[in-house]
Structure 1
Amino acid sequence: MKQSFSKRSTMTEIAAKAGVSIPTVSRVLHQRPDVAPETRKRVEQLLEEHGLLQRHAKKLSRKEHSGIVDMLFPGFDSMYSFEIARGVEEVLARTDRRLAISSTHHSLELEQHWMSKIQHSPSDGAILVLAHGEPRRFDPLHRHNIPFVVVDHAGELGLDTPSVGATNWLGGRTATEYLISLGHRRIAVITGPTTLPCSQDRVAGYRVALEAAGLPVRPDYICQGNFSPDSGYTQTNALLDLPEPPTAIFAGCDEQANGVYRALRDRGLRIPDDMSVIGFDDVPTASIVTPDLTTIRQPLREMGRVATTMLLHLINGEPLDSIRVELTTNLIVRNSCKPLDDEK
């Protein structure tokens, strides 16, 4: 215990002298590639002076891989998470590693508990989906040399945290521009949680598209949801109760669009004759609902594949081509939107 305390104290001292954070010192000590060359050289020199570099190199040489990759996502109730997991499995199937999946059930407390447990587990690395993104929450992984990649990050990430996301801003703008091209002028959006960068970016794209077309951004047409069908249902009913309801709804995700569909049908409204609806994600159910859903395809499976490929590079001590990867979203036109009738 005394030796462990001494090591932590030394790392704190080295971090102060090098002008970097303790996690950065840990990454250099554990031979992680995601550190700038000049910073690495400065930290290594200090580590060598304190004798930590040599001792840890011997420890690393004795370490063997477990063959286990951990994956953490918010819940088992979402096609979104399963599509990412399918991409992860596709890559791991070509290796000798296996996947261990855990869920936080959307609880920050359970996520923190998982972080504390994984440092004592035989894990080669981790893929974190929608992790609460304060950089300090990743400290246990850094300290115990557990490489990780964040997918679709849910908060602020450190500059050297590997992550994979999608062009949410472009997707939000594309969805709104498509509805405008059909003649819609009263377009509402039902967001995901406003604390999430992906929600913020989609709404920002929505705003830009309206402003570029000379259309007002109406606060009563921006409704906060939580990416669930129930929130789509509740917010659609609120929009229909407005003195001037929208003629089109942009749902924050396809599962939320299911709630939009249900609310419209409960009101006796037809899609797309009475209301155009567009979603986001293009999960498998989007093509089998009636009418099939026009949506913005977020390459979820590809995000899982890219994140896993990045993680395998980190596990092998290989450099990454890029710390941050952003994959393109694109419009998938089906039958839930139509040109607006002149009389509406």
Structure 2
Amino acid sequence: MRDETSTGRVTLAQVASQAGVSLSTVSKVLNGRPDVSAPTRGKVEELLEAHGYRRSSAGAPEAPLIEIVFHELDSTWAMELIRGVQNVAKETGLSVVLTETGTRHSPGADWVEGVLRRRPLGVVLVFSTLPDDLKKKLWSRAIPFVIIDPAGDPEPDVPSVGSANWAGGLAATRHLLDLGHRRIAVITGPEDMLCSLARLDGFRSAMGMAGVAVDPALVRFGDFHVRSGRTHAAELLQAPDRPTAIFAGSDLQALGVLEAARVLNLRIPEDFSLVGYDDIPLAQWSSPALTTVHQPLVGMAEEAARMLLRLRHTTPPPPPTDTPRPLPPTPTDQADTRIEFGTRLVVRDSTARPPGQRG
């Protein structure tokens, strides 16, 4: 096999010669085999990178798999994303493999070595960032990847699918303001995640435009899970001047708020109003049914999977488009590698006017 470089062409035999190893050792590194020492692997990887090596996807044996990577896999929210990827996999005769990396938002070198051995058609990462060295390893093996809701601001060369988090936070807060609430608390996600910060920024913007000061004591950072919603809500609702409304940055956190209210014998929306985020299936079946911000999780995952299949035929990964996409997006060419879906408020039974303002 011959490999394209920026200055000409180089064979794998030449890479082996320059590294002082056998051709079979270079092949082992390319295939992610574990039986190569770390120093040798590093030397070969450096030479492959220096020569701009990129394996031809047409010539590489691939498993008929799409791999989806979560740092945590324990919620209905995750199941919606899996369902979206699975929908596309079924359409194209592929299978789906799941990987859980733990609490890290950036999967490590051990993960990427496993991917090189499995050699899927592509990888969907959720709430992740990818260091440059991992990106280069995937690109060099012609394994495309797409990130759903990147943990940080993705670089221009990183394909991603997200939703309008700022607009969602704005809509949720405006709804509460329009009902007459002024003392509004927010329980968002982790401080190091772009989507949770964007939802918080939308909350702050709505409050600012309404001329309502944000009380720092009412701003809480959680982890998007039930337990953090329950813990923060219990503290907020037992304060002397408790909020009349809570905006939870995820439906799971909102379910935690519901549990805290039950323990404290508080009624929703009679004693305080509650808005969630995501519109997972459980939201409409909670008691009361949850007012929430809908983001199309299944559609986002479907688009990420379709983007992977398009990127398989693209060398190198294309630059992002600066043109806003229609919502829901209908990709028209391989340059569509940064897509943002719209969000919308779904009003149900968990919101009402504040106590004392009802006629």
Q: Which amino acid aligns with 2:353?
A: P
Aligned to 2:142, the other structure's residue is in SS state: coil
Rounded Cα–Cα distance in structure 1 between residues aligned with 2:341 and 2:159: 14
CA distance 1:234–1:112, shift in 2 (3 Å) = farther
Q: Which amino acid aligns with 2:208?
A: E
1:274 to 263, 271, 274: 271
- In the alignment, which residue of structure 1 is the partner of 2:346? 332
Measured against aligned partners, the alpha-carbon deviations of 1:288-323 in whole angstroms (never above 9, x if no partner) come to: 110010000011000001001100111234852422
Aligned to 1:336, the other structure's residue is in SS state: coil
Kept in 2: contact 1:227–1:252 (CA 8 A):
yes
Q: Which amino acid aligns with 1:72?
A: V
Kept in 1: contact 2:127–2:150 (CA 8 A):
yes
1:173 to 159, 165, 170: 170
2:95 to 94, 98, 113: 98
- In the alignment, which residue of structure 2 is the partner of 1:288? 285
- In the alignment, which residue of structure 1 is the partner of 2:47? 9
Alignment length, in residue pairs? 303
Kept in 2: contact 1:134–1:156 (CA 8 A):
no
CA distance 1:220–1:135, shift in 2 (3 Å) = farther
Q: Which amino acid aligns with 1:235?
A: H
Aligned to 1:170, the other structure's residue is in SS state: helix
Kept in 2: contact 1:134–1:157 (CA 8 A):
no
Rounded Cα–Cα distance in structure 2 between residues aligned with 1:259 and 1:305: 29
Rounded Cα–Cα distance in structure 1 between residues aligned with 2:148 and 2:113: 20
Aligned-residue offset at 1:99? 0.9
Aligned-residue offset at 1:150? 0.6
1:188 to 177, 185, 190: 185
Q: Percent identity?
A: 36
- In the alignment, which residue of structure 2 is the partner of 1:82? 79
CA distance 1:231–1:71, shift in 2 (3 Å) = same
Q: More helix by proportion, 1 or 2? A: 1
Kept in 2: contact 1:133–1:154 (CA 8 A):
no
1:299 to 292, 296, 306: 296
- In the alignment, which residue of structure 2 is the partner of 1:62? 59
Aligned-residue offset at 1:206? 0.2
Aligned to 2:267, the other structure's residue is in SS state: coil
Rounded Cα–Cα distance in structure 1 between residues aligned with 2:108 and 2:283: 30
TM-score, with structure 1 as normaliser: 0.82
Aligned to 2:211, the other structure's residue is in SS state: coil
Kept in 1: contact 2:271–2:355 (CA 8 A):
no
Kept in 2: contact 1:229–1:255 (CA 8 A):
yes
**Most deviating of 313-322 and 229-238:** 313-322
Rounded Cα–Cα distance in structure 2 between residues aligned with 1:181 and 1:280: 18
Q: Which amino acid aligns with 1:223?
A: R
- In the alignment, which residue of structure 2 is the partner of 1:34? none
Unaligned runs of 5+ in 2: 1-15, 27-42, 316-332
Rounded Cα–Cα distance in structure 2 between residues aligned with 1:157 and 1:343: 45
Rounded Cα–Cα distance in structure 2 between residues aligned with 1:234 and 1:301: 29
- In the alignment, which residue of structure 2 is the partner of 1:36? none
Q: Which amino acid aligns with 1:337?
A: T
**Most deviating of 119-128 and 182-191:** 119-128
Rounded Cα–Cα distance in structure 2 between residues aligned with 1:139 and 1:242: 51
Matches within 5 A, 1:239-254: 239-254=236-251
- In the alignment, which residue of structure 2 is the partner of 1:220? 217
Aligned to 2:123, the other structure's residue is in SS state: strand
Unaligned runs of 5+ in 1: 15-24, 31-56
Aligned CA-pair RMSD: 2.1
Aligned-residue offset at 1:236? 0.7
Measured against aligned partners, the alpha-carbon deviations of 1:270-305 in whole angstroms (never above 9, x if no partner) come to: 000001000000001001110010000011000001
CA distance 1:340–1:6, shift in 2 (3 Å) = closer
Aligned-residue offset at 1:104? 1.6
Kept in 2: contact 1:135–1:157 (CA 8 A):
no
Aligned-residue offset at 1:152? 0.8
Aligned-residue offset at 1:9? 3.4
Aligned to 2:303, the other structure's residue is in SS state: helix
Measured against aligned partners, the alpha-carbon deviations of 1:215-273 in whole angstroms (never above 9, x if no partner) come to: 00110010111111111111011112323111000001001111100111111100000
Kept in 2: contact 1:152–1:198 (CA 8 A):
yes
Rounded Cα–Cα distance in structure 1 between residues aligned with 2:355 and 2:45: 71
Aligned to 2:91, the other structure's residue is in SS state: coil
Rounded Cα–Cα distance in structure 1 between residues aligned with 2:268 and 2:48: 65
Aligned to 1:301, the other structure's residue is in SS state: helix
Matches within 5 A, 1:113-124: 113-124=110-121
Kept in 1: contact 2:71–2:105 (CA 8 A):
no
